[in-house]
Amino acid sequence: MQPVDFTTLAAVRADLQSSWLPARCEQVYQRDPHTLFMALRTIEKRGWLAISWHPQAARVHMASPPPKAPDTFTFSQQLKHQLGGLALTKINWLSPWERVLDLQFARRPDESALWHLYVEIMGKYSNVILTTADQQIVTAAHQVSEQQSSVRPIQTSRPYTYPPAIRGKLPSLNETFDDWRSRVALIPGPLKKMLVKSYSGVSSAIASQLLWAAGLTVTSQTTALTDSDWQRLFQAWTIWLQSLEQSRFSPATLASGGYTVLAHLFQDGLREGQRDGAIALHPASSLQSLIDDYYRHQFNQEAFRRLHHQLSQALKVRLAKLRQKAATFTHRLSQSDQAEDYRLKADLLMAHLHEWRAGMTQIELADFETGEPVILSLNPEKNAVQNAQALYKQHQKLKRARSAVVPLLTAVKAEIHYLEQVEDSLLQVPAYQIDADLTALEEIRTELILEGYLRDTSGRPPVQKGVRQKGGKRSAHSGESADFRQYTVPQGLQLLIGRNNNQNEQLTFKQASDYDLWLHAQEIPGSHVLLRLDAGQVPTDKTLQLAASFAAYYSRARQSDQVPVVMTAPKNVYKPKGALPGMVIYKHEKVLWGQPQQAQTFMEQAKADDVEKE
């Protein structure tokens, strides 16, 4: 994850000053132990300022609205009490090149500050501290005792002290090329590393961007550079410092990963042909959205990875137990199949009581039907009648076992089928790409909690099992959820595909109209697929084949060449009473043969077309 460096913080500060000051603080909300949101309102607009002191991603930027959830954090309540209704009037630097911002709050824009909110972006030591006008600490996101730091304790009622001064050499436009080159090249080694070590305020990300802008690589060595290389690098260095001085920033994402707020660095003053090491850029619509999107994506990616692992492991353990239980039940059923053999043996012994002798451990008798010899094992301590009664009892016991085991085995198989359906939803999304991927996993977790397979550790109020979203069956193709997978197939028709059981049921019982077609892999766990049609619209065989291929691809049989897929009208699909989520029955179906590879090829081609358009 790319940390917020001084350059990024300077860009965010400049943008906030020009677009969001002064602004009234209307609300304060804390989302998690490391992230705070402030609702700011200017004369023209309203937005949310995100402030994070996360050890790996401390940052400040305008963000999308936070999710609606109870705020139980004391820190946010204290800020809300002190800052609510006041105006954010200034955002100042604490000292040059220091990654600390001083957010000042006053009753009116033209009045002196009543409160200072210091946002310290310093890696694992990041913090957010509220002080009075005379620098007395009122509250802090992270209290630091004297035992933890004798140099700079941070506690309520103590005076606020500045972070230790920066000791290293600071970049300056007044420095000559020769002095700069001598400092960087003083110790031979990797050029990127030497830039970071020689100057404070030069992050690893900025060093990489300077090298790329100069047509160099991140593996370049100081001893391998030519005079021309040094000149181009110093030119990029100068442009960077001028950008900071003039507050000139241009946000963009880097095709190789990460982001930059200095996209112009890759064009200004650098002749074509001297930028072989430069990388592709994708300009961002705004600086604030760039920062917000990047860190949300990074955190979503990490949350997705943890949740995917948690759900996969829980399902793996549960399915292993259920399959073992099913094997045990199946074995007991196979034993119960021998019940009739015990009755026949008992009848045979009762018909030949006269051949029994005291102390016999076995007796050989002729079978009633075939006449073949049958050897019966006997208990020598019992007479013939008692041995026959023992055989009759074993017969009855196995019969009772069968009647008891059959419904148990049926229930276990249904549970296995349900969990395999959930497991297939996870297999369909092995890695995070978009927000909908994480949302789908969160819906799966909620479903498993409601069904009793997971324990709820979120601390949120429990949701009643079986509660459905309000709203009836739609009459037109409207109100579709953006979380469904959506594809435009031949004839310009829309194909909607559920990502999990919750979406499958929404798709089938909420979104579907009487004109649509419903598809699903036959007797195989997979997604519900809906081909959207208007009244009188008839899909071609090619369209139906592709829709069937999508149903096959988003199923547990996606590795097969051909997969049987059922197709019917949504009105012919039912959810049995008491059935687990996503489990349905259908009638009047038609069977098609889906080809998963065809759907995959279609998606790859559509993705390539999108890239070409960009």
Q: Whole-angstrom Cα distance, residue 400 to residue 76?
A: 64
State pLDDT tens for residues 69-90: 889 999 999 999 999 999 999 9
Binned at pLDDT 50, 70 and 90, residue 461 comes out as very low
What pLDDT shows up at residue 448?
A: 94
DSSP code of 158?
A: S
Residue 247 gets the label, from left (phi > 0), alpha (psi -120 to 50) or beta, of left
Percent pLDDT > 70 in the chain is 93
> Is residue 279's pLDDT more than 90?
no
Q: Whole-angstrom Cα distance, residue 116 to residue 106?
A: 9
> Is residue 603's pLDDT more than 80?
yes
CA 564 to chain centre: 31
Beta carbons within 8 Å of 529's beta carbon, 6+ residues apart? 495, 496, 497, 498, 518, 519, 520, 547, 550, 551, 554
Helices 287-336 & 384-427 angle (0-180, nearest 10)? 160
Nearest Cα residue to 49 out of 18, 82, 23: 23
> Is residue 237's pLDDT more than 60?
yes
Binned at pLDDT 50, 70 and 90, residue 266 comes out as confident
What pLDDT shows up at residue 469?
A: 37
Cβ neighbour number for residue 261 with a 10 Å cutoff: 28
> Is residue 4's pLDDT more than 80?
yes
Q: Whole-angstrom Cα distance, residue 236 to residue 243?
A: 11
Torsion of CA 589, 592, 598, 602, to 10 degrees: -40
Average pLDDT of the residues in 382-390: 90
Nearest Cα residue to 104 out of 123, 87, 90: 90
Distances (CA, A) of 249 to 101, 246, 381, 529, 613: 18, 9, 99, 46, 27
Binned at pLDDT 50, 70 and 90, residue 460 comes out as low
> Is residue 376's pLDDT more than 50?
yes
Q: Whole-angstrom Cα distance, residue 284 to residue 543?
A: 37
Beta carbons within 8 Å of 385's beta carbon, 6+ residues apart? 350, 353
The residue with greater pLDDT, 404 or 191, is 191
Average pLDDT of the residues in 548-555: 96
Beta carbons within 8 Å of 154's beta carbon, 6+ residues apart? 127, 129, 137, 140, 142, 143, 144, 160
The residue with greater pLDDT, 576 or 271, is 576
| CA gyration radius, the chain | 36
Locate 150 and state its tokens.
């004798």
> Is residue 509's pLDDT more than 60?
yes
Q: Whole-angstrom Cα distance, residue 116 to residue 132?
A: 6
> Is residue 558's pLDDT more than 80?
yes
Locate 107 and state its tokens.
């009753």
For residue 425, the SS3 value is helix
What phi and psi, each to the nearest 5 degrees, are found at residue 208?
Answer: -60, -45
Average pLDDT of the residues in 124-136: 96
> Is residue 478's pLDDT more than 60?
no
Helices vs strands, H then E, count in the chain: 13, 22
What pLDDT shows up at residue 342?
A: 77
What pLDDT shows up at residue 186?
A: 93
Average pLDDT of the residues in 227-231: 95
> Is residue 173's pLDDT more than 80?
yes
The answer to whether 438 and 299 are in contact (CB under 8 A) is no
> Is residue 58's pLDDT more than 80?
yes
Locate 268 and state its tokens.
């200004």
Nearest Cα residue to 118 out of 162, 83, 85, 86: 162
What pLDDT shows up at residue 374?
A: 87
What phi and psi, each to the nearest 5 degrees, are found at residue 191?
Answer: -60, -40
> DSSP for 112-168?
PPSEEEEEE--GGG-EEEEEETT-BEEEESS-B-TTT-SSS-B-TTSBP-PPPPP-S
Locate 401 and state its tokens.
């076992």
The answer to whether 58 and 122 are in contact (CB under 8 A) is yes
State in Å, rounded, how far the first CA of the chain is from the last one. 26
Locate 419 and state its tokens.
């969990």
Nearest Cα residue to 96 out of 220, 10, 210, 197: 10
> Is residue 274's pLDDT more than 60?
no
What pLDDT shows up at residue 272?
A: 42
Pairing of the two strands 23-32 and 35-41 = antiparallel
Match 């909908």 to its residue by tokens. Answer: 436
> Is residue 368's pLDDT more than 90?
no
Which H or E run includes 494?
strand 493-497
Binned at pLDDT 50, 70 and 90, residue 490 comes out as confident
Entry field: residues in the chain: 614
Q: Whole-angstrom Cα distance, residue 160 to residue 20?
A: 26
Half-sphere exposure at residue 598, Cβ-oriented, CA atoms within 13 angstroms: 18
State pLDDT tens for residues 532-547: 999 989 999 999 999 9
Torsion of CA 465, 469, 473, 476, to 10 degrees: -150
Which H or E run includes 252?
strand 252-254
> Is residue 232's pLDDT more than 80?
yes
DSSP code of 124?
A: G
What pLDDT shows up at residue 354?
A: 87
> Is residue 582's pLDDT more than 70?
yes
What pLDDT shows up at residue 394?
A: 81
Q: Whole-angstrom Cα distance, residue 347 to residue 342?
A: 9
> Is residue 385's pLDDT more than 80?
yes
Cβ neighbour number for residue 60 with a 10 Å cutoff: 24
- Domains annotated for the chain, with CATH where assigned, are 6-140 (2.30.310.10), 177-284 (no CATH), 311-427 (1.10.287), 485-613 (no CATH)
The β-bridge partners of 376 are 363
Average pLDDT of the residues in 365-393: 89
DSSP code of 563?
A: E
> Is residue 465's pLDDT more than 70?
no
Range 73-110 burial, b when 16+ CB lie within 10 A, else e: bebbebbbebbeebbbbbbeeeeeebbbbbbbbbeeee
